[in-house]
Structure 1
């Protein structure tokens, strides 16, 4: 089992909301209205770990080890929402998300293949790590800069945990795992349809609720995510290229191949499957 070792490793790295956030350095005057609103939106999207966890537990009933790991992942992701809300409570209490706003992002996700979901979330954690690093750089208030740094490090560790479960899946499921990881790797490293980076938060997850079946669509301001990425933290083509390289390096090591470009990965995938990659029937949401 991987869970006991992952638990110990993540426990050693865990930070305390009370002791490891320098609340005494808080300077609300250094926080703009624009910046404060992004903290609110990040808090709500982090709350979407709740329905993602419900999805993971449902679709992985066959895997008690991975399901147990969800207890750690869920705890840490919900702590991200909590620390961002606590920050707003101290700095901008008028922007603390309401319970209704939080509950709006809790909705059922259609069943999805577990291996594809695992790869999707691995890529999502890689991208999210870098999004939060950029957010830390963009902000001007010292405490929220520190908070985003803590959260970014958590997301990087979560990506490493998912990678270990991917390694285990290759041992257990062989060709099925290779096909799933290659297919979702191509999708997540290709910028998505319309040229925007794919993340679990902006993928459709419930056909009966379409088009309001993404976490992003249920935010108080659905257009916020693109504005945050493009105009505020400026996650530009160079930033995205670093995410793509990280995905390709991970898959190269995982699959024992050399993928310099997404085209290399797609050629490898097509040679094994002979088909074009398609998004999963239900792509699960995760925190942003």
Structure 2
């Protein structure tokens, strides 16, 4: 089981919201109204760990090890939301999300292949790490800069944990399971490393997850300002091609380690995916 070791490692570096955030360094002159509003949107977005956890538990019912790890992931993700809400409570109480606004992002996700979802969320954590690092750079107010830096580090650790479960899947006693997992990881890897080619931000909270609710079936569509994410990325934190390239490089680097094959470009990974599909075609 991976859960006991992952629990121990994450417990060792867990931060305390009361003592590890420099609340007393707050400088109101360095926070604009627009910046404060983006904190509210991120707080609500992080709350969507709740329906994501419900999805993971449902779709991985036969994997108690992974579901146990969800207790750690869920706790830490909800803690991110709580830290951002606490920031607003202390310094911009008029912008605190209401319980109704938070509950609105809790809706059912359609069932999906577990390995594809695992890879999707691995890539999502890599992307969030880079988004929050950029957000920390963009803000000038000391407390929120520190918060974004702290939660960015959490997202990187979560990506590492998901990668451990991906490695475990490839070594599954069933060769067919391992082969299908390899195809799933390559497929989603090609998609998520190609964000520079798409008009929308490729993150789990921005993807369609419930066909009966389409097109209002993304987490972002449930927010008070559904279009805030693109504006935040493009015009505020300036998550440009250089930063997208960093995300793509991290995904390709980890896929290279996972598959024990070198992928320098998305095209390399896509060619590898096609070879995998060709190999299983006769079966």
Aligned counterpart, 1:210:
214
Contact 1:130–1:152 (CA<8 Å) still a contact in 2?
Answer: yes
Deviations 1:139-161 (A, max 9, x none): 01100000000000000000000
Higher mean alpha-carbon deviation, 195-204 vs 108-117, is at 195-204
- How many residues in Structure 1 have an aligned counterpart in Structure 2? 275
| Match for residue 177 of structure 1 among 160, 181, 188 | 181
Query: In structure 1, what is the Cα distance between the partners aligned to 2:207 and 2:12?
Result: 33
Contact 1:136–1:145 (CA<8 Å) still a contact in 2?
Answer: yes
TM-score by length of 1: 0.94
Higher mean alpha-carbon deviation, 183-192 vs 227-236, is at 183-192
Give the RMSD, CA atoms, in angstroms.
Answer: 1.2
Query: In structure 2, what is the Cα distance between the partners aligned to 1:274 and 1:84?
Result: 47
Query: In structure 2, what is the Cα distance between the partners aligned to 1:227 and 1:27?
Result: 25
Contact 1:190–1:197 (CA<8 Å) still a contact in 2?
Answer: no
Query: In structure 2, what is the Cα distance between the partners aligned to 1:49 and 1:166?
Result: 20
Deviations 1:232-278 (A, max 9, x none): 00000000001101000100110011100000000111122149xxx
For CA contacts below 8 A with separation 6 or more, give which structure has more relative contact order. Answer: 1
Contact 1:192–1:198 (CA<8 Å) still a contact in 2?
Answer: no
TM-score by length of 2: 0.95
Aligned counterpart, 1:19:
19
Query: In structure 1, what is the Cα distance between the partners aligned to 2:10 and 2:100?
Result: 31
Aligned counterpart, 2:128:
128
Deviation, structure 1 residue 194: 3.5
Aligned counterpart, 1:258:
262
Deviation, structure 1 residue 29: 2.5
Runs of 4 or more above 6 Å deviation: none
Query: In structure 2, what is the Cα distance between the partners aligned to 1:4 and 1:194?
Result: 39
Contact 2:196–2:244 (CA<8 Å) still a contact in 1?
Answer: no
